[in-house]
Each structure stands twice: as structure tokens, then as C-alpha cells.
Structure 1
Amino acid sequence: MKRLMLFITMLTLAGFLQAATINGKTVEDTEWDSLMPADYSLDAIFDTTQFGSLDDYDPLAEIKLKAMMEALSSAPVVQEMDGKMIRIPGFVVPLVEEGMAVTEFFLVPYFGACIHVPPPPSNQMIHVTFEPGTQVENLYDAVWISGELKVATVAHELGTSGYTMEAYKIEPYTEE
């Protein structure tokens, strides 16, 4: 009996220790920073020092805002991430809803992104499709998304993403 219990315990532990796979690919837990080139900095590509001294109605403010939005929507991506099966936490910004289910959305690293101007840089946004759809009861709640990441640009009125993903799994966020 003790051997049977030990065997069952070992099988259970082996299941926990084995890396998750989807479509034969190992799923890697991924941080948002890994979607930006190591040398990328918004400050390095766009000068924000004049913003504090600009009046909202100053014509230069509109020119600077347009330049900033262009810089955000063309942020460099990490080509080596293309085709990787990843799991990443984030917040849902719904784009397409079918009934009560969200089937297309931006995944962003922090709450309120895209809803408030400006959106995150494109290398910090993932355009996600999930055919069965998912219920989003509260936009304040973070989720884990698992799927194959692709380097591709998707422009929408709420922002531009530098990555796309067809999600295979969506689950509530929990600290691990």
C-alpha cells in the first residue's frame, strides 16, 4: 500500500513539474519586458521634456502629440519572439464582442491602457483572438493568456499592437 501511495505521489509531482505544452510546443511564462528590445526606451526615441511647458491649445502641443503617437505605434519588437508559445498576464481591452463573449481584444500590461490616452507602445500590446470568446466580468481583473505569439502589426482606433496571438487558453490571474 505504501508503495502504491508513493507511486501515485510521484506521478502527481511529475505532472506538476512537467512543463505545459500546447500543440507540441512548450509554453514559456513571459514577462512584458521580454517583448521590448533590450536597448528600447521611449525616452530615447521621443523627447518629452517640452510637454510640461506646453499649453493644451498651443499648436506645438498637437504636433508633439501626433509625433508621440507615431513613436508609440511603431515601437520595435523582438523578432525572436515570433512563433513562441507563451503564457503572459495582462488586462483585456475589448475590441469585438459577440453577445456576452469577447472574441477579439488587446492584451496590455496595466489596467486602463488604451482607454486613457496615450496607449502603450506597440511592443507592449498584443492583439488577441479567441474564437469561443471569453466572459469579461470586470476590466479591473487581470488574466493569463496562453497561445502562440506572432510578430505582426494590428492598428485599431484604440492603439496599435506589434504582436498578435490566437489564444488557446484564458484563465484568471493568480500570483505564482
Structure 2
Amino acid sequence: MKYEKILALAGIGLLLLQGCGEPAPGGDAGAAPTKAAEIQSQSPAQVPETRWEALIPADWDPQAMFKGVDIDSFDDNDPRALDLMLKLRQAWDNAPVNMALNGKPVRIPGYVVPLDQQADGIREFLLVPYFGACVHVPPPPANQIIHVLASETIPLQTMSTVWVSGTLEVMRSETEMGKAGYRVQQAQVKMFEE
């Protein structure tokens, strides 16, 4: 694949990260921590929607390394393109997380990237904010990937659209499909219906 195409895909990912909209009403990331037992007792409908933008620290700029770089001047075999892609991948794999969300209840929509496909469905997967993430190059930043361990096996397929509810943990995990910055265990998973 040409470096230009790889960089274009990275640029699309950046645009998607920026263009997701405003934080959901009532989604106050600075609220006092909620006890795990209280979170477990809340039904998914009681938890306000968490927006993907809330998972990105306010002071992190995913486009910082592209400032002052004339990507259009790169040729297919330009070593600067490969160097930039390697730096981008490293920066995104180590992307900072929003520590204020650790231990908070979440209800967030996204796409399923299976990690344990079984005959009756999926129990472990990555939740990502846009279609094709982790399946195509490059995966999103770690702060835009949630490692989900569902409370039960669910009949899902790759890129199914779902709501995930549970307690968000700041926990890095490395999988064959991408590096996640967050995890939700014992997650309640429902198909997304508008």
C-alpha cells in the first residue's frame, strides 16, 4: 500500500476523532466517583450517554505531529513518510486517557471488533468509534478503543453496532487488533437502535 494512502487513512481517523460532536448533556466527567455497587444497580437507561470525545484528554492534540509537515510532498518511497507513520503509530498506541473517567458508569455506542468469535456469538471484543477501525490500517488511538468483556455471549458479528454499558476502567491492553486504553468488564451489550 502506498504511504500516501496510509497517511490518508490516518487523516480520516483524525477527522473522525474531531468531528464526533459535542459532549452529551448530563455527561459530567468531573462528577464525584460513583461506587461500583451503585453503578451495577443502575439500569443502562439511567446512565447518560458517554461521547467518544470525553475519552480524549482536553490537552491532547492527535494532529500535533502533522503540524508543519507537507504530506503532499512525500513520494511513495519517501523515508519521511515511513518515519511519520511509525511515529504516529507509537503516539497513538500510547495516547493518554482521561483519568477522570476511571470507575465511572458509561453507556457508549460503537462498532464491534471481535476478539473471541464463537459459534454462539462474541463475549470479548474491542469497541471502536467508527466503522472499519482496527480492521483497516491504522487502528484508532488507544484512547478511542475500549476492551469489552461482556457479561454473557452475544450473537454479534464484526462491525455490529452496539451500546455498551458498565464501569469504565483506565486499563491498557494489547490485542492482535489494537491497543486499548480502557476496559469495561461485565458489560451489558445491546444492539444499537436509533
The TM-score normalised by the length of structure 2 is 0.71
RMSD: 1.9
Q: How many residues align?
A: 153
Instruction: Give the one of 75, 78, 93 matched to 1:73.
Output: 93
Quick check: 1:99 aligned with 2:110?
no
In the superposition, relative to structure 1, how do residues 121 and 137 fare at CA in structure 2: closer, same or farther (>3 Å)? Answer: closer
Instruction: Give the one of 164, 168, 178 matched to 1:145.
Output: 164
Does the 8 A contact of 2:164 with 2:189 survive in 1? yes
Determine the structure 2 residue equivalent to 1:118: 138
Determine the structure 2 residue equivalent to 1:6: none
* C-alpha displacement of 1:148: 0.8
* C-alpha displacement of 1:135: 1.2
Q: How far apart, CA to CA, are the structure 2 residues paired with 1:168 and 1:59?
A: 43
In the superposition, relative to structure 1, how do residues 52 and 150 fare at CA in structure 2: closer, same or farther (>3 Å)? Answer: same
Deviating beyond 6 angstroms after TM superposition, the runs of 4 or more aligned structure 1 residues are none
Quick check: 1:43 aligned with 2:63?
yes
Determine the structure 1 residue equivalent to 2:7: none
1:170 maps to a residue whose letter is V
Q: How far apart, CA to CA, are the structure 2 residues paired with 1:152 and 1:51?
A: 34
In the superposition, relative to structure 1, how do residues 138 and 78 fare at CA in structure 2: closer, same or farther (>3 Å)? Answer: closer
Q: How far apart, CA to CA, are the structure 2 residues paired with 1:60 and 1:42?
A: 19
The TM-score normalised by the length of structure 1 is 0.78
Deviations 1:6-51 (CA, angstroms, capped at 9, x unpaired): xxxxxxxxxxxxxxx752356332111111112222112x226343
Determine the structure 1 residue equivalent to 2:40: 23
1:121 maps to a residue whose letter is P
Does the 8 A contact of 1:37 with 1:76 survive in 2? yes
Q: After the TM superposition, which of the residue ranges 130-139 and 69-78 deviates more from structure 2? A: 130-139
Q: How far apart, CA to CA, are the structure 2 residues paired with 1:54 and 1:104?
A: 40
Structure 2: stretches of 5+ with no match in the other structure:
1-37
Identity of aligned residues (%): 40
2:166 maps to a residue whose letter is G
Q: After the TM superposition, which of the residue ranges 33-42 and 144-153 deviates more from structure 2? A: 33-42
Q: How far apart, CA to CA, are the structure 1 residues paired with 2:41 and 2:123?
A: 24
The residue matched to 1:133 in structure 2 has which SS?
A: strand
